[in-house]
Structure 1
Amino acid sequence: MWHYQTPGIPDQLFERLPGIPMTKREARLLIISALRMEPKSVLWDIGAGTGTISIEIALLCPGAKVIAVERDEDVAELVRANSKRFKRKNISVFEGNAPECFADISAKPDRICLGGGNPIKDLLHKAWSFLPAGGRAVAMATNLEQLYQLSEGFAELQARNVEVVQAAINRLETQGMRQVFAAVDPMFILSGEKID
């Protein structure tokens, strides 16, 4: 399947379901970097989708605990299938509606990855309340409304060391007889740390 140790698993190696979002390889690299995982970190991957971020983190940090939070049973099963495919035992899938389910997750996070959802600012606030001092949150925005909500949310939470990266990635693709550069999920990646 694969024999390398660096992050950036090719997208086609993951099992997929029609209509279920997948964070593309190049965007995953930026998100993983922003998370700044530690060897024994506990990550909540909220809105895990296909599970690509959970899988990459579980491979990079075998001593970490990754909790993929998904509300849809079929999508949760997809994350389980991908975890099995990549032989990851440090991923747990938690089925529940965010943010209501957060209190039911036994392992509390020091890292949070927020993949979307509405209202995203409310999800950020609720997830943030479970972070300890020094914890980090990373959130993705794919439109201006989400960007504004997340920017306001990090400001209201008095997050420190806030970073915003606008990722515009293009891949060379063949379309008919031509090779063109096609945009890959343009997004904003916001991250911040909890001080107290």
Structure 2
Amino acid sequence: MAWCGPAIRRLLPAGRSLTDYAGQRFGPLLRVWTLGLSLLYMLCFLTAELTALGAIVGLLTGADGRWAVLAAARGITVALMVPVVAVAWEGLSVLRLFLIADLLCATAVVPLLLGLWPRASTGAALAGSVAGLIGAVLPSALASGSLTQGLLAATFPTGVPTLAPFAGALLASSLVCGLWIWLRPARP
């Protein structure tokens, strides 16, 4: 694919998608066909995601009946779609959203992994995750002298990931969770 990129860029310098390329290179009929295939793929992907969400809701709620799980999954899905529609309406960068999601995961990964240790408690995991959130903002806030700038930097406004929020999240969550476990170990 590396050698295809320059050729596609020469043919379609302002192109943004596969459907743009298909329309320019092969005409409007193939553009519509490519768009239809893309929508079909997204529909299949969304169906798989919603099926998995239904299974997760069933496991979390302990619902026995199939219809109860389906109703709960539909309710949660509708609730989750509100922010999705808001994000789509605003036209935010998907890369930026993935970076923010990765940063949020970095705040909880160490406490969750330490949860495999019998000495770890729920309090340690929660305290470590909260410390990870603070640690994600703190390095940039200290560097800029402003909490607002720290929060802004943790949302990657340029869409370029920086090490400080991730390192701060991992270090803070590890330190607080480890200290909590050391000072107040869970009783078996």
Smaller-chain TM-score bracket:
under 0.3
TM superposition score normalised by structure 2: 0.22
TM superposition score normalised by structure 1: 0.21
Of structures 1 and 2, the larger Rg is shown by: 2
